[in-house]
Structure 1
Amino acid sequence: MFQQVPMVEIDGMKLVQTRAILNYIAAKYNLYGKDIKERALIDIYSEGVADLNEIILHYPFLPPGDKDGSLTQIKEKSRNFPAFEKALKTRVSNLPTVKKFLQPGSQRKPFEDEKFVEELKKSFG
């Protein structure tokens, strides 16, 4: 119907657009802060994550000469997250999957390797 992704079916509705989906789920499960100041902090954190995600998604497809600069950007964005983390509600930080992810040394999916990038280029090229 909407011919878009992401699309989520929830509560009899079809929601599109990432921010709309996230806002709906956050409001439904009372995860969007107790007041306007807390909501603003959550928005700052989520926008930071979105910015970082965009840099990370493009990283495997950059020419080798551009990867160092992009890696520096990733490190710069990432170092701000501990400050944002203090602003999040304890309840969210204590969710088992979130708590596990936030632990130092937790498993993270590695960047895509050159073989994957070449296969993807062939598929869409």
Structure 2
Amino acid sequence: MAEKVVLHYFNGRGKMETIRWLLTLADVEFDECYLSTNEEYKKLLGDGALMFQQVPMVEIDGMKLVQTKAILNYIAEKYHLLGDNIVDRVKINMYAEGLMDLMEMIMILPFSKDVKPKLENIETKAKERYLPVFEKALAGPIYLVGGKKSLADVELLECTLMLEEKFPGILADFPNVKSFQGRMTQICSIKKFLQPGSKRKPQPDEAYVKTVLEVFNTKLPQL
């Protein structure tokens, strides 16, 4: 039996959350080792587990993978969630990269001093730059690429849920995206992941920010 996948990160969303979502879509069980102190982080460094001295780090198939995009692409390809051909793959990656750009704007909010203008910028870009792309792409197809679930689909679901947490009703003008979201949430593994008590993480709070800063032994950046 293959060893269970192990995720090394904080007990919070951040860049690891998309990896959790993707593993969930692939029906892959995983364990988590949470970083909570600078000593734990230094141990990973000392063990040579972090190629670029960064997390997320995922233990899978005898490897210690770092860099979020590389991890996501490995998991997606391993579990047939990265398209059937080179054209599908590049489309999936374009969608996924765009979604990650938007989600990263939301991820840095807890570390920001003045969030109001940043929220306004996120809402504007979501409505004018990102959501229209997916509304058009989903005018007919069930999934974004090739008629089957992919990395891009799970990222779109995660992103729309993040947006609705900040901007309730933001999908009102994007009925195709909203319908897609509804379909995705009915997938058994995802439906379970959305229930209380799952490994899905809540929105980051002050305790999460404090832990991240303590692990890296740094102060709140002026973002």
> How high is the TM-score relative to the length of structure 1?
0.68
- The verdict on how the C-alpha distance between 1:72 and 1:36 changes in structure 2, with shifts beyond 3 A counting, is same
For 2:132 and 2:68, locate their aligned partners in 1 and report how far apart those are by CA, in whole Å.
24
Instruction: Please say if 1:51 is aligned against 2:101.
Output: yes
State the structure with bigger RCO (CA 8 A, min sep 6), 1 or 2.
Answer: 2
Matched-pair identity in %: 41
SS of residue matched to 1:34:
coil
Gaps spanning 5+ residues in structure 2: where? 1-47, 158-180, 186-193, 195-200
Which of 136, 147, 160 in structure 2 is aligned with 1:90?
147
For the aligned residues, what is the CA RMSD?
A: 3.2
SS of residue matched to 1:91:
coil
Gaps spanning 5+ residues in structure 1: where? none
Residue in 1 that maps onto 2:125: 73
- Structure having the higher helix fraction is 1
- The verdict on how the C-alpha distance between 1:71 and 1:59 changes in structure 2, with shifts beyond 3 A counting, is farther
Q: CA deviation at 1:62?
A: 5.6
Q: CA deviation at 1:70?
A: 3.0
- The one-letter amino acid paired with 2:59 is E
Contact (CA 8 Å) 2:109, 2:115: kept in 1 or not?
no
Partner deviation per Cα, 1:60-106 (whole Å, 9 max, x = no partner): 5362551323321132323322334543243317xxxx5xx5118x7
Contact (CA 8 Å) 1:15, 1:21: kept in 2 or not?
yes
Equivalent residue runs for 1:97-116 within 5 Å: 101=157, 102-103=181-182, 116=205
Which of 72, 76, 86 in structure 2 is aligned with 1:22?
72
Q: How many correspondences in the alignment?
A: 114
Contact (CA 8 Å) 1:55, 1:74: kept in 2 or not?
no
Partner deviation per Cα, 1:13-43 (whole Å, 9 max, x = no partner): 1100011111111111122111111111101
- The one-letter amino acid paired with 1:55 is M
